[in-house]
Amino acid sequence: MYQEPLIPLSADDFPGRRRFLKQVVAGAAGAAMFSLAAPLVAEAASLSSQESSMSNLSVSGAAAFPRTSFYTVTADGVDVFYRSAGAPDAPVVLLLHGFPSSSHMYRELIPRLAGRYRVIAPDLPGFGFTKVPAERRYRYSFEALTQTLSAFVDALGLKRYALYVFDYGAPTGFRLAMAHPERVTAIVTQNGNAYEEGLGEAWGPFQRYWREPTQENREALREALTLETTFWAYTHGLAHPENVAPEAYHLDAALMARPGNAEIQLDLFLDYAANVKIYPRFQDYFRTAKPPLLAIWGKHDQLFIPAGAEAFRRDNPNAQVQLLEASHFALETHVDEIAAAMDRFLQPLAK
């Protein structure tokens, strides 16, 4: 059973139904209670984006944010859920999430960019609201995630796009870029790593599992799937952790609690070693293609540390690096700074 993180929360943090959602999810005991919580989880994701679209000003100075819409498209035999906003003929920005999140992590960023860009954020298989039919017999690996993402891009007819990559979104996005370098107009990497020096000490148990993929080492990583660990990833190093919206980490924890999902995540933990092996290939892509690149990083991240951001300059001298007083999930506390930096970076490149 989930235990409530010991953080101060005011009533203002939980308007209406999301207060009830938190109570349901926090007390959920596996699949039985999740069946009750799931409709409310979906509603919370929708409410977050809808509230954002009605209550703030956009980077471009419009009177209100464009509204985010929610879709599902079948690609690679998978029902891929995605969020989208912006004019259909605007330059495309493709947002790729990481572990243990989903496109929900972009709920505040999407409307801030959608005044100038067509912004699209899919949920990868095993995450968020993307559904993988049982008959698909999906094998969860980063190559498979990339294959599905490639099919998703083709299904939407995307020929040119900028990439925003984070965490797991980095190895999938970089694979996508290597396969079709002509499509990628720019890369924004927010704590999306491609260098071994960017792996923090928190990777120790994972590296042990890569070296010795025993059941004992696999079981030791189940702690990484708990609400407590997710809360840590969202708030570590922050002076004001109470500024992180609690529905974000509760949603991640609830979705990971679905039947069978823990094994999916443990499989991906093991397969992350395949990403490290091809880091040199990613680096060769940066040297040869030289995509315009902005590495904007939460410097208190203990998973992908700032050295990983600085390393991009080694292979791409034109890479820009910006460190923020943020943690792993920098958008939770610095969405305005990131949106403004992206707008400055992308505007000259948008065609």
pLDDT in 10s for each residue of the chain, 351 residues: 333 343 333 334 434 334 434 443 443 334 433 443 444 444 444 444 444 443 333 444 444 778 999 999 999 999 999 999 999 999 999 999 999 999 999 999 999 999 999 999 999 999 999 999 999 999 999 999 999 999 999 999 999 999 999 999 999 999 999 999 999 999 999 999 999 999 999 999 999 999 999 999 999 999 999 999 999 999 999 999 999 999 999 999 999 999 999 999 999 999 999 999 999 999 999 999 999 999 999 999 999 999 999 999 999 988 999 999 999 999 999 999 999 999 999 988 776
CATH number, domain of 292, equals 3.40.50.1820
Please give the model's pTM, rounded to 2 decimal places.
0.83
Domain assignment of residue 335, yes or no: yes
Domain assignment of residue 24, yes or no: no
Domain assignment of residue 23, yes or no: no
Q: Which domain holds residue 333?
A: 32-349
Q: What's the rounded Cα separation, in Å, for the pair 234 and 285?
A: 30
**Number of structural domains in the chain:** 1
Domain assignment of residue 16, yes or no: no
Question: Which of 97, 104, 250, 328 is the catalytic position?
Answer: 328
Domain assignment of residue 12, yes or no: no
Domain assignment of residue 288, yes or no: yes
Domain assignment of residue 304, yes or no: yes
Domain assignment of residue 20, yes or no: no
> In the annotation, is 328 catalytic?
yes
